Amino acid sequence: MKTATRIVFWWVLSVFVGADASAELLTGRNGMTLYTFAKDSAGNSACSWYCIRLWPPAAADEREGPGFGAITREGGARQLTYEGRPLYYFIGDHGPGDANGDGIDQVWRVVTLPETGIAAHDTEAAALRCLGRR
């Protein structure tokens, strides 16, 4: 799988090109892929105990912007959300560009740019304008 990465604001947008498809995935500041869990309800995480050992919650300060927010987990930790859905990392991803958790148990999904409604070229141009490079 080939990967092209653009750093945009506080998050990283990466383009993953496979043999039969390409998709732009939303990743955390560290470049790691973000996932949603189908068993979560809006504003509430169903992933706890052993689950969070495999699927660590994305910290609330990982991302800012329209559609993004946070929930307070049991114990007080704040977790990043998109449209009320909690976001997670997967311990089976070992580096930026990995998306090994997509489809696991038919409940874990990557967050793709069409789902977020973010246009890669728009966010990249905005980031460059903020940095004074365009």
Phi then psi for residue 2, to 5 deg, are: -90, 150
pLDDT tens-digit series, residues 2-20: 444 444 333 444 433 333 3
pLDDT at 113: 63
Show the 3-state SS of 30-94: CCCECEEECCCECCECCCCCHHHHHCCECEHHHCCCCCEEEEECCCCCEEEEECCEECECCCCCC
pLDDT tens-digit series, residues 17-75: 333 345 578 888 889 999 999 999 988 999 999 999 999 999 998 877 888 899 999 88
How far is 91 from 32, CA to CA, in rounded Å?
10
How many domains, the chain? 1
Assess whether pLDDT exceeds 90 at residue 77: yes
pTM: 0.69
Its domain, for residue 19, covers 2-130
**Quick one: average pLDDT of 74-87?**
92
pLDDT tens-digit series, residues 98-109: 999 999 999 999
